Amino acid sequence: MSPPRAWAVFRKELLHIRRDPSSLVQIILMPVMLLLLYGYALTFDIKQVPTVVWDRDGSAEARQFLNRLFGSPYFQDFARVGEFEAGGRMLDQGAARVVVGLPQDFGRQVKTEGQAKVSVVLDGADANTANVILGYIQAVVSDYNLTLMTERLHQKGLTRLNTPISPEPRVWYNEELESRNFIVPGLIVVIMTMVGALLTSLSVVRERERGSMEGLIASPLKKSELILGKLGPYFIIGMVDMAIAMGMGQFLFEVPMRGSWLLMIAMSALYLMVMLAQGLLISFAAQNQLQANQLSMLSTFLPALLLSGFMFDVRQMPWALELISYVVPARYFVTLTKGIYLKGLGLDLLWPSAVLLVGFALLFLLLAARRFSKKVR
């Protein structure tokens, strides 16, 4: 391989980038826009749920229960209605998510140690959100029951309540249970997937459309020199995007970095090489820039978003999709980012994912080189 010839291709690609400043600005702004959009809009923290109350009792016990409900950060006292139909209409309109109904004898049942029933109607159009809200309500009811039982025992002269099982939960790695702490590292994966694949997927096919590919083929340029020269500028741009994304995650979203910054940068550079090589392979295979753009989106962005474990647990998917996810490089980078960001792990535990990314990079580079050699013949 001749370094001067690879440098010539490198400079030629830089000239293409400089002559299209609008595309360069879009590439630089892409991680900013994606992080702002997904980082703030995409959240699994459900709070201030609009709740309608249908209180037919109005007793002190009913007010105490409702104060306990709305004293939590999860429920908002949205409206009080005198009939269930009014609350049902609010559910139909999407203005409220929950209707809580208290029967007429709620206070009497509570005071006489009976069993008071609370009716809860949920908007189940979003099943995941409904399940989370139901869990919140059950937790409030359990806490209220425990308070009542403790008061009654005190009235009977018992000063201490010993329960057979006393749970002491402890959350590791994401103690605050903030969704942004695992969403932002996953977004870094999606951003680098989009940027890396889109950058190089247009590089060779653009040469073909402009008629300059024949000159490259007729030159003494070797395939390794072409690949190195093509990947170099986009690797630098991709690392700049990675630095922007990691900086926003650290200073804007305040996502804690438990592990090593150097290890995170090294693994990001490795994954960027995988995506650049895959994009270059797509560019060799595509017939035009539109086709290259579509192929890169279908083969990189969508699998990274849906099959990497960034948003959905892969182990909960049908076995066929779980099997497909093993050939998605983003799955292994998600493991690396979450392991480094949230758990503070090192290569002693994360090396299998790193080795697989090295294998993907070599595979895509080999396939791209073979594709170019066929064009040369």
Q: What is the pLDDT of residues 3-48, one digit of tens each?
A: 777 777 778 777 777 777 766 776 778 778 878 877 777 777 788 8
Q: In this structure, are residues 180 and 43 in contact, taking their beta carbons and an 8 Å threshold?
A: yes
Range of weakest confidence among 8-17, 85-94, 151-160, 279-288 = 151-160
Taking the mean position of all CA atoms in its chain, how far away is CA 257? Answer: 17
Average pLDDT over residues 73-78: 89
Buried b (16+ CB within 10 A) or exposed e, 264-301: beebbebbbbbbbbbbbbbbbbbeeeeebbebbeebbb
Share of the chain above pLDDT 70, in %: 90
Range of weakest confidence among 159-168, 251-260, 287-296 = 159-168
pLDDT of 317 strictly over 60: yes
Domains of the chain: 3-42+178-376 (no CATH), 49-155 (3.40.1710.10)
CB atoms within 10 A of CB 221: 19
Average pLDDT over residues 62-69: 89
**What are the two backbone dihedrals, phi and then psi, of residue 372, each rounded to the nearest 5 degrees?**
-70, -40
Confidence of residue 171 (pLDDT cuts 50, 70, 90): confident
Nearest CA-CA partner of 241 in 174, 195, 282: 195
pLDDT of 1 strictly over 50: yes
Nearest CA-CA partner of 99 in 138, 61, 60, 55: 55
pLDDT of 364 strictly over 50: yes
Q: What is the pLDDT of residues 196-205, one digit of tens each?
A: 888 788 777 7
